[in-house]
Amino acid sequence: MPTVAGICFTLLTIISFVLFFKKLGKIARNIHLGKAFQINDQKTKRIQNVFLLAFGQKKMFRNPLVAILHLFVYVGFVIINIELLEIIVDGIAGTHRIFKPYLSEGYDFLINSFEILALLVLIACVVFFIRRNLVNIQRLRSKDLDGWPKSDANAILIIEVVLMGLFLTMNATDEEANYLISNLLKPFFSGFDASTLSAIEHTAWWLHILGIYAFMNYLPYSKHLHIILAFPNAYYAPLTPKGKMHNMPSVQNEVLYAMQPELAPTDAAAPEKFGAKDVMDLSWKNLMDAYSCTECGRCSAACPANTTGKLLSPRKIMMATRDRLEEVGKNIDANKQFVEDGKSLLHNYISIEELRACTTCNACVEECPVSISPLDIIVELRRSLVMEESNAPAEWNGMFSNIENNFAPWKFAPDDRDAWTKQD
């Protein structure tokens, strides 16, 4: 006979998962607004990257202390979620610790491990909260994070601390439970009678699982989405040398046909847009990058332009791309298809001054723990600026015409190219 609580719980579970997957579907649709871009080579190497970069968090270990704290949260999150299975079954069936009889001593080992991890997660999150709000760490203090991004980051940490607290409270007030960490909390509850304890336990149990469902549904709106997208993003990470820029076959062909007109097809298609003006002009990988970004700011902390006070911040490039993509997504939701809104990623979200400051040094790409390339987006926007809008600083226009006329970026006579051989 299903209980009222059981039915409520089952319904809640279904609603939570349906909402969650619906939102994920929206995100997948938004990512697919990006241009098709085939990535299906070197599968073994890509799977290796998933293990090394996503599971193994290789890039995080460029700063070992933070890496270890982050590892606690990550391992804790993944492993404690195994317990979620039991919690869900218990909730639906109205049972209490249903796996315990089947696992006997193994069960105690598991719960003890979960509790130790929960404590580590809790400690790590408190340290992270302090680092974020009280210690003066440039990348966490940056104006990039003013407003919602800062609250988002703090909300994640507070929710995690509360969830871990509830998990431990739930075990501490369970009379049958006898586990390592929650036992330490038992003295706090020693004054309560059995029925109060049971009520606290039930409340903690419900708040914990409701908190988890709420958190799950918060994820897709938050920078915290990286816990899912870090994995595909590591798989699709570029495997070519970082210095290599994407070729533009359309331009390559235009030049080829200009040089060798006999090769030009008679039914040549109208030229497409060059570079990216808006999110739809970027590749789907660029857009997935935007959703994968955790706004940690390692990119901007390594950016030569950003650290010397220029307007450019690679992190802000990613945040702007995601914000614009979300806006475009909402536009599509409201109008069934994208209706021109007079805005674009270039100009409205990312300014010319930001784009111009990039030295293409790849420091941002090197630092990103989840294989994002802000540089790729910067370069695509620069292409649009120069080729669609003919918008370049005067010095660059001079450089272009020197290359065109003198075959060098400076105004020297091509005939003097080997003049150095005649010097002593």
Partner 1 sequence: MKVNTMAEFMAKGEKPEVLFWVGCAGSFDQRAQKITKAFATILDKAGVNYAILGKEEACTGDPARRAGNEFMFQMMAYQNIQILNGYEIKKIVTTCPHCFNTLKNEYPVLGGVYDVIHHTTFLQELIEQGKIKFTDSNEWKGKSITYHDSCYLGRANEIYEAPRKVLESLDMELREMKRCKSKGLCCGAGGAQMFKEEEKGDKRINMERADEAIETKSDFVASACPFCNTMMTDGIKNRAEEVKTEVLDIAEIIAQAIQ
Site for partner 1, rule CB under 8 A: 62, 240-245, 247-248, 251-252, 254-256, 259, 274-275, 302, 304-305, 307-312, 353, 356-363, 365-366, 379, 382-387, 392-393, 395-396, 398-400, 403-404, 407-410, 412, 414-421, 423
Kindly tell me which of 32 and 242 has the beta carbon lying closer to partner 1: 242
Look up residue 321 and give its two tokens.
């791309």
Q: Is the dihedral of CA 124, 130, 133, 135 positive or negative?
A: negative
Closest approach of Cβ 58 to partner 1, in Å?
12
Which tokens belong to 249?
A: 């076959």
Comparing CA positions, the residue from 384, 373, 276, 340 lying closest to residue 34 is: 276
Between 181 and 355, name the residue whose CB sits nearer to partner 1: 355
In this complex, which beta carbon is closest to partner 1, that of residue 102 or of residue 410?
410
Q: Report which of 398, 260, 279, 258 is spatially closest to residue 349, judged by C-alpha positions.
A: 279
Residue 384 CB, shortest distance to partner 1, in Å, is 8
CB of residue 355 to partner 1, shortest distance in Å: 9
Could you tell me if 355 and 331 are in contact, meaning their C-beta atoms sit under 8 angstroms apart?
A: no
| Eight-state DSSP code of residue 97 | S
Two structure tokens written together for 233: 């993003």
Nearest to partner 1 of 86, 278 (CB atom)? 278
Least distance in angstroms from the C-beta of 137 to partner 1? 17
Nearest approach, Cβ of residue 276 and partner 1 (Å) = 11
User: To the nearest whole angstrom, how small is the minimum distance from the Cβ of residue 4 to partner 1?
Assistant: 59
Torsion sign, CA atoms 237, 242, 244, 246? positive
Burial 342-366 (b: 16+ CB within 10 A, else e): eebbbeebbebebbbbbeeeebbbe
Which residue's CB is nearer to partner 1, number 247 or number 266? 247
Centroid of chain to Cα 199: 39
Is residue 318 classed as helix, strand or coil in its secondary structure?
A: helix
Name the minimum Å distance from CB 421 to partner 1: 5
User: Could you please report the per-residue DSSP string of 173-204?
Assistant: T-TT---HHHHHHGGGGTTS-HHHHHHHHHHH
Least separation in angstroms between CB 385 and partner 1: 6
Q: Quick one: 223 or 383, whose CB is closer to partner 1?
A: 383
Gap between the Cα atoms of 141 and 137, Å rounded: 6
Total H helices, total E strands in the chain: 19, 0
| Nearest CB to partner 1, comparing residues 12 and 311 | 311
Q: Which is nearer to partner 1, 224 or 383 (CB)?
A: 383
